[in-house]
Amino acid sequence: MEHDIQAAWASSEIAELLMNNQSSFFGNLGTQNGWSVYAGRETGRDWPIADGVIYADNITHNSIKIAIEFKRQNEGLHGILTALGQSLAYLEKGYNASIVVIPEKYSSHPKPGEHIKNIIDSTIDNPPISVYTYKTPNSSIARPFSGRLKCIKDIVLPNCNTTSSTQVTGATSSFSTLWAHVREGMSHPNAFFRYCQAIKLLSGNRNIEMDNTLIPKDLYDSVIGLSSSYDPIKYLSSTPGDSLSDQAWRYVWFNYYFWKDLIPIFSSNNSYCVNSQKTKICMMDGKNQGLFSGRVDSIKEKLVKALNDGVISERKAWEDYAKKVHNDAHSYREVIDSGLFHIGFLQSDSTLSELGYKFVDACERINDANSGIPLEILRSAVLINGQYDAFLHYVYQVSENKFSCDPLAFTRTNSNGNISFDQTSYKQWLFEVLANEFRLIKTSTIRAGGTRNPFQSEIPLLKQLGFVKGSPNPNYRVGVGLEIDWIQVQNSLVYSQAL
């Protein structure tokens, strides 16, 4: 069983324990019994990276961030000492507390939890470090660590001594779910390939310069009109600096997304016509991704209509377009860059990891990321490093429990007596269960202002990678819910062992 999924299970269970014992852990901090506790992962990249993060919010107190350090049985007895060192490093990084989670016993030590507790008590003056031990988790149930965790060293957080003199951004960043951040319409294998390829090129000390002449004069002038201090190339790609990641994204943006033929808003200014040129990002269906056109609410469609209606000047159209391009470049970059880090293709300094090199090299051999070895590498990385194995575990187990009690849950019967599955209500129910019972989703922020549907990004990604059955859309079955392709899941788990 992989380390990361067990750490995810443990983080979820501890979050629930803290939620149910607020007065014990949080003491007099904040509104009493007013804490909301969630399990997630770090969004930042500053070392050391915690195995899991527990976030606690209270309306009358600053958010509390707790780092989880999880050790498996096969890491050996020496792991308890490295766990202690890492727990201290998390405090220095800026976490409010850390929790060590280790096996209840080793063959060479019957009580490692008590041992590490004694070390802490005898050497450190009341630090905000808690210690839990665990019995082997039961992966066949929704809560694998239910009843299998024991608190060996409890703490009352406000009574602990502060051990850190610094506050590092990585420890105070916003909530992120356990599974990797993705967005539908953005997280394409080919997009990952092109970004990794750019990083590889730049890591070889190759200087990639972008030429301002590829920007049409009207667009160039509109950027300068927004501010004379703006560099049009940097503004339109949302890359303000010259870091490795800035340069890589500029290269990808202007070569594969916002490339020369796609840039113009319209193809004619006699009777304005939308320039509907596609990007050079090839999606898994073999079609190139669209950008800024193709839908009635696309920026080019709206601007061309306004131009033809005579309600906007060309100058204003180019200015509005520049702002939209800038904002979308930032969004695409954030999704792709953070997604690649979360699935283990990028290191904290934005260079490629060993796995990232394997992926891009495999892609370059066949000039494709949508099939063959590149796709197998990506599947394994998303499943394990991206912790979508945990997501699938929770979806399957809670669905199984639900339908075993009520096989016709989330169904509707029409006038002819035909039964259909209501996937909308099913996904809403899944969302509420994972948020409220498993403490895995922060409901106050995850909805993006209430505009996004539950799992609008996660399920399409899993369908795209073959972990969810259905063509072209995911399957939802009566008495089953989301239909997971467990054969593909198992194949990817096995493949990961060879990487």
208 and 315 fall within a common domain: yes
CA 382 to chain centre: 10
Q: Is residue 131 part of a domain?
A: yes
pLDDT in tens, 51-96: 999 999 999 999 999 999 999 988 877 888 899 999 999 999 989 9
Q: What is the mean pLDDT of the chain?
A: 90
Which domain, by its residues, includes 405?
387-496
Tell me: pLDDT of 169 over 60. no
| 382 within domain boundaries | no
199 and 105 housed in the same domain: no
Residue 113 within a domain: yes
Tell me how many domains the chain contains: 3
Identify whether residues 163 and 201 lie together within a single domain.
no
Q: Say whether both 285 and 413 belong to one domain.
A: no
Three-state SS at 219: helix
149 lies in the same domain as 213? no
Give per-residue pLDDT as tens, 283-307: 999 999 999 999 999 999 999 999 9
How confident is the model at residue 301, as a pLDDT?
A: 96
- pLDDT of 161 above 60: yes
* Together in a domain, 399 and 426: yes
**By C-alpha distance, which of 344, 284, 392, 351 is closest to 499?**
344
50 lies in the same domain as 99: yes
Please tell me what DSSP assigns to residue 299.
H
| Domain-located, residue 371 | no
Given a cut of 90, whether residue 168 has pLDDT beyond it is no
The average pLDDT across 121-134 equals 93
The answer as to whether 396 is a domain residue is yes
Nearest to 381 by CA among 84, 180, 197: 180
The residue with tokens 């779910």 is 177
pLDDT tens digit string along 367-418?
Answer: 999 999 999 999 999 999 999 999 999 999 999 999 999 999 999 998 888 8
Same domain, 34 and 109: yes
In the block, which residue shows the tokens 């996004």?
Answer: 452
- pTM metric for this prediction: 0.88
Nearest to 29 by CA among 183, 182, 155, 173: 155
For the chain, what percent of residues have pLDDT higher than 90? 76
Rounded to an integer, the average pLDDT of 463-467 is: 94
pLDDT at residue number 165: 55
Average pLDDT over residues 185-192: 93
- Do the beta carbons of residue 360 and residue 352 sit within 8 Å? yes
Look at 377 and 107; give whichever has higher pLDDT: 377
Q: Which residues does 122 contact at the CB level (< 8 Å), separation at least 6?
A: none
343's tokens: 């699935």
CA angle 242, 246, 249 (to 5 degrees): 145
Which tens digit of pLDDT belongs to each residue from 412-442?
998 888 899 999 999 999 999 999 999 998 8
